[in-house]
Amino acid sequence: MARVAKSKAEDLEAVQDAPEAAGGTDTATAAEGAQNAPQAAQDAPGAEGDKDTAQDAPQEAEPEKLVYVGPQLPRGRLKTNKIFEGTRDQILASPEMAEVLKRYPLVKNMLVPVSKLAEAKQKIAAGGNALHKFYADIASLAATEGLEG
């Protein structure tokens, strides 16, 4: 897109230089021409349409499969290795997850793409990283809840 704008700006400068070459006079100075070139490139036909479709088009996240790699939660709230399908936002906004996230907010950090399941399991087992810490915190909270009732 920048390349298109640059070539349109160069075309504009060529048109502005044309009266001089033909023996006429150009009332715009070189500095004014350079300042006006970006505006002319924006006003050029087709430039605005390209800009609108590139910038205003919503960047929708593609649906994916995420797997919960945290510990099993009490009362059957959420089981380890449960697979969810959809965008991360859709999954987190689902009624099931909204209820779980009220009590266990760290669960959102334990949803990983299925393609990274093995890597996530290794990190949890190894320790010394965020996934291991989240897992331990959720397990501790779940154990406390299990003792309460």
pLDDT in tens, the chain (149 residues): 444 444 444 544 544 444 444 444 444 444 444 444 444 444 444 444 444 444 555 566 789 999 999 999 998 899 999 999 999 999 999 999 999 999 999 999 999 999 999 999 999 999 899 999 999 999 999 998 866 54
Domain boundaries, the chain: 2-55, 64-148
d(CA 106, CA 101): 7
d(CA 126, CA 73): 22
**Residue whose entry in the numeric block shows the structure tokens 């760290």:** 106
